[in-house]
């Protein structure tokens, strides 16, 4: 946002120099990116009065002028200009002067007559574009003689270039920045005049129809007897300093109001609104429209259109149409002042590559209440400058009015929060200058914030407003008051830490791998064609074919890690990974992310080591109802793999990897693999420790060896132990499984150690025999076991 300091001083009377003003703006939160004075290049140019004009003795088109510079003796200038006369006050560039663009002027002779310099046009002073001037610049009669032209024209104030953050759209205006200066220097803000006369309407009023909720407010007024011409010099100069090229008086007024108040405006030639109705609607997509810059644009859906019924006459918040622009013969005009949805304008601006002063304000969600203020200001300027007359009707469609926020803050609380001792009276003064209504009540301040400050909603917002105007540099350096009670880990974090600690205690090293794989990796781990694991999430921009899908299993990535260890010459490998798999869910856009524990090992026979990991995890995490069954997964070696069930849910699969999988990965030794559902483990975990009294009475131990079929699982025996042992059977432990020539074919010997104990009394042999015999009979009856 460019801020001409000369324009700023129209609203707030300050004498601060431009450098100090830039520093104060930065300290108050409005970052100044640069300070420039484009007219500083103009040097040694002064105001002068023409004393006489005579024809050049040797040239018909040249004139010899004597001028008064208020220096005693007259100065002689030779010129070819014809629009001046005796008594006129004109800019004179003297010997060793510099003009706009860096042109140097020296004393010299024209056709033998000495000229001490030259007269200047507006173009040569940078006030008009090249080729738009017809002669010298004639200054007002009241202009002092002999002063620097920059001082005479007010061109020596400089221009600040400020970076305005997205939460402060109110500062995208000269008046908004003047309000900031008013608060910084505690100087009254002089607001622009809004009054204007009206004349009776001479026909039917224009109508406005909104076919979309993306228009927050739309106001229209009609101007008649419009006379298109040039704007006054003071307006053109302010627009030029702010970076906008003057076009014509009416268009310049709309741009002037936009810069002054921050509300974009637009003027339509009424001849193009043949239906008498302005309709705002959304584009269907694919329409074409030629904008004021003479570019034909193809529109996308949701672009907001200003239409004469169905004919497009403008792109809302962006740019008007070429056909409805203001022309030299325009006499009746419809003025638009509206407020549009910021996201919609930003999206359309980006798609069309059309960034304008209007779009840069609308896309920051400016205040809808600015619409009426800007319309009144424009009507004042139109009538005050004699550009036209305003009809006495207004169309104002405002579906949902924005109302001020209200909140209450405590002076002592703000001071404690800021580490300051600012009196409540000073806080009230600061906030009042920022146009916040303040009603003090003891230590409390009841506030009503203006609608153009929608960012003021909570205590911290008010604290920021107070301290930035009070001055960050005035806040004493103090240690922050921190009340941070020591926190603990979440239950999930506790369980994860416990799991990681146990895995490390088992001698396993953590492995980390990519979450994306190739489709062919599922073939290498023998995944069936009809497996749901083949429903994978495609990556739109993969690093390559080997990383084109998200993994649904960790088998391939762990096998790659084992292969890498073997290739590096490691005789043994003991790895684990806690990672996620990505499973497609029916009806869901995003996949379900499931955490899985994977253990991969080689170097010796490790089947029972993996089973031990599962068993100890079940014990450590308090899992109940854990059982096992043979695994039928093609990934594992037949007969050398198992599945651990928690109730009816699969908790883990483990065993020796199938030789074909080993061959696919080039591994020449047996590998063992465990895959465990971490989510199920944590969801079923119960790690609360309970106190158990040390037994007072001794235990009784019995060994039990039975002959059973080879197909019988030891798990089947243990189920009978648990059921028939009752409360007396304290524990049991397998200590031998034997198969050999001494046993019948298809049979095996299984031996257990059983511990009995009664917590209330000392057991007798009779008590133990009763339960032990019951267990033996159940084994014989249910499993065909024979006592050895």
465 is in an annotated binding site: yes
Directed axis angle between helix 765-783 and helix 714-725, to 10°?
Answer: 140
- CB within 8 Å of 420: residues ≥ 6 apart: 414, 467, 470, 474, 475, 476
Is-contact 313 270, C-beta < 8 A? no
780 is in an annotated binding site: no
Query: Nearest CA to 315 among 275, 288, 334?
Result: 288
Q: How far apart are CA 773 and CA 668, in angstroms?
A: 50
Sign of CA dihedral 416, 417, 421, 426: negative
Helix H or strand E segment including 705:
strand 700-709
Q: How far apart are CA 1 and CA 32, in angstroms?
A: 9
- The backbone torsions φ and ψ at residue 400, rounded to the nearest 5 degrees and listed phi first, read -135, 100
Query: Nearest CA to 629 among 609, 650, 607, 656?
Result: 650
Q: How far apart are CA 294 and CA 283, in angstroms?
A: 20
- What is the residue whose two structure tokens read 């996308």? 300
**Cα angle vertex 264, ends 260, 265, to 5°?**
105
Q: How far apart are CA 381 and CA 384, in angstroms?
A: 5
Q: How far apart are CA 261 and CA 380, in angstroms?
A: 14
Q: Which two tokens stand for residue 667?
A: 């591994």
Q: How far apart are CA 16 and CA 24, in angstroms?
A: 10
Q: How far apart are CA 151 and CA 628, in angstroms?
A: 95
10 is in an annotated binding site: no
- The backbone torsions φ and ψ at residue 439, rounded to the nearest 5 degrees and listed phi first, read -125, 100
- Strand, coil or helix: 701: strand
- The backbone torsions φ and ψ at residue 251, rounded to the nearest 5 degrees and listed phi first, read -65, -40
Beta bridge partner(s), residue 395:
220
What CA–CA distances, in Å, run from 77 to 63, 98, 108, 179, 423? 8, 16, 10, 46, 64
DSSP 61-91: EEEEEEEE-SSSS-EEEEE---S--TT-EEE
Is-contact 263 373, C-beta < 8 A? yes
Q: How far apart are CA 453 and CA 378, in angstroms?
A: 23
Query: Nearest CA to 358 among 296, 294, 266, 283?
Result: 266
Query: Nearest CA to 585 among 537, 651, 548, 540?
Result: 537
Q: How far apart are CA 749 and CA 740, in angstroms?
A: 9
Q: How far apart are CA 678 and CA 575, in angstroms?
A: 16
Neighbour tally for 45: CB within 10 Å: 24
Q: Are strands 108-110 and 113-115 parallel, antiparallel or unpaired?
A: antiparallel
129 is in an annotated binding site: no
356-394 as b/e: b if 16+ CB within 10 A: bebbbbbbbbbbbbbbbbbbbbbbbbbbebebbbbbeeb
- What is the residue whose two structure tokens read 């970052």? 31
Beta bridge partner(s), residue 209:
279
Q: Which two tokens stand for residue 369?
A: 């209440």
Q: How many residues does the chain have?
A: 788
Q: Enumerate the known binding-site residues for Mg(2+).
A: 455, 461, 464-465
Q: Enumerate the known binding-site residues.
A: 455, 461, 464-465
């Amino acid at each position: 946002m460019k801020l001409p300091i000369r324009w700023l001083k129209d609203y707030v009377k300050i004498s601060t120099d431009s450098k100090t003003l830039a520093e104060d703006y930065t300290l108050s939160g409005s970052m100044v990116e640069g300070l420039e004075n484009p007219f500083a290049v103009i040097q040694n140019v002064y105001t002068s009065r023409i004393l006489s004009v005579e024809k050049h003795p040797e040239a018909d088109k040249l004139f010899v002028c004597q001028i008064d510079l208020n220096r005693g003796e007259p100065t002689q200038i030779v010129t070819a200009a014809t629009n001046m006369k005796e008594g006129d006050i004109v800019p004179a560039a003297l010997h060793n002067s510099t003009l706009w663009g860096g042109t140097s002027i020296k004393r010299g002779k024209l056709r033998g007559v000495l000229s001490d310099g030259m007269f200047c046009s507006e173009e040569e002073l940078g006030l008009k574009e090249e080729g738009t001037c017809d002669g010298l610049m004639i200054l007002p009669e009241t202009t002092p003689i002999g002063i620097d032209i920059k001082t005479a024209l007010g061109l020596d104030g400089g221009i600040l270039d400020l970076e305005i953050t997205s939460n402060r759209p109110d500062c995208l205006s000269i008046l908004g920045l003047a309000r900031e200066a008013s608060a910084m220097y505690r100087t009254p803000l002089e607001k622009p005049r809004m009054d204007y006369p009206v004349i009776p309407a001479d026909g039917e009023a224009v109508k406005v129809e909104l076919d979309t909720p993306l228009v927050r407010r739309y106001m229209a007024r009609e101007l008649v007897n419009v006379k298109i011409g040039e704007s006054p010099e003071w307006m053109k100069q302010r627009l030029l300093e702010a970076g906008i090229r003057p076009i014509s008086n009416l268009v310049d007024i709309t741009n002037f109001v936009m810069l002054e108040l921050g509300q974009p405006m637009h003027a339509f030639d009424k001849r193009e609104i043949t239906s008498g109705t302005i309709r705002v609607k959304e584009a269907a997509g694919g329409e074409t429209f030629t904008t004021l810059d003479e570019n034909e644009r193809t529109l996308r859906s949701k672009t907001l259109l200003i239409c004469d019924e169905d004919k497009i006459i403008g792109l809302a918040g962006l740019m008007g149409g070429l056909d409805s622009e203001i022309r030299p013969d325009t006499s009746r005009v419809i003025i638009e002042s509206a407020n549009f949805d910021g996201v919609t304008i930003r999206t359309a601006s980006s798609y069309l590559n059309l960034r304008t002063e209007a779009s840069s304000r609308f896309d920051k969600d400016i205040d809808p209440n600015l619409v009426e203020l800007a319309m009144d200001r424009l009507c004042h300027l139109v009538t005050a400058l004699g550009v036209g007359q305003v009809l006495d009707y207004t169309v104002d469609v405002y579906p949902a009015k924005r109302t001020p926020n209200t909140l209450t803050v405590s002076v002592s609380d703000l001071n404690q929060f800021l580490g300051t001792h600012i009196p409540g009276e000073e806080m009230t003064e600061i906030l009042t200058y920022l146009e916040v209504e303040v009603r003090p009540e003891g230590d409390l301040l009841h506030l009503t914030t203006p609608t153009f400050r929608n960012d003021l909603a909570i205590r911290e917002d008010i604290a920021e407003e107070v301290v930035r105007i009070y001055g960050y540099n005035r806040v004493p350096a103090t240690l922050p008051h921190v009340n941070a009670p020591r926190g603990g880990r979440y239950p999930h974090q506790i369980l994860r830490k416990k799991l990681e600690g146990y895995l490390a205690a088992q001698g396993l090293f953590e492995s980390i791998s990519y979450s994306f794989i190739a489709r062919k990796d599922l073939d290498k781990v023998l995944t069936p064609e009809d497996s749901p694991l083949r429903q994978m999430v495609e990556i739109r921009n993969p690093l390559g074919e080997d990383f084109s899908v998200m993994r649904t299993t960790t088998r391939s990535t762990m096998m790659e890690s084992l292969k890498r260890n073997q290739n590096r010459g490691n005789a043994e490998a003991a790895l684990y990974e806690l990672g996620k798999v990505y499973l497609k869910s029916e009806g869901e856009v995003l996949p379900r992310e499931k955490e899985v524990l994977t253990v991969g090992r080689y170097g010796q026979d490790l089947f029972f080591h993996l089973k031990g990991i599962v068993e100890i995890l079940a014990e450590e995490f308090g899992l109940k109802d854990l059982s096992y069954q043979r695994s039928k997964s093609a990934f594992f070696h037949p007969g050398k793999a198992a599945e651990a069930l928690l109730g009816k849910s699969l908790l883990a699969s483990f065993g020796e990897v199938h030789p074909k999988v080993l061959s696919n990965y080039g591994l020449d030794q047996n590998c063992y693999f465990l895959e465990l559902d971490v989510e199920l483990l944590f969801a079923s975990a119960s790690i609360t420790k309970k106190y158990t009294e040390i037994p007072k009475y001794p235990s009784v131990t019995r060994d039990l060896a039975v002959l059973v079929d080879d197909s019988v699982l030891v798990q089947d025996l243990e189920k009978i132990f648990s059921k028939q042992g009752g409360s007396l059977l304290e524990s049991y432990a397998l200590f031998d499984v034997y198969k050999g020539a001494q046993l019948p074919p298809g049979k095996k010997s299984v031996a257990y150690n059983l511990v009995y104990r009664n917590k209330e009394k000392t057991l007798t042999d009779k008590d133990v025999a009763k339960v032990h015999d019951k267990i033996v009979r159940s084994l014989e009856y249910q499993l065909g076991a024979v006592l050895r």
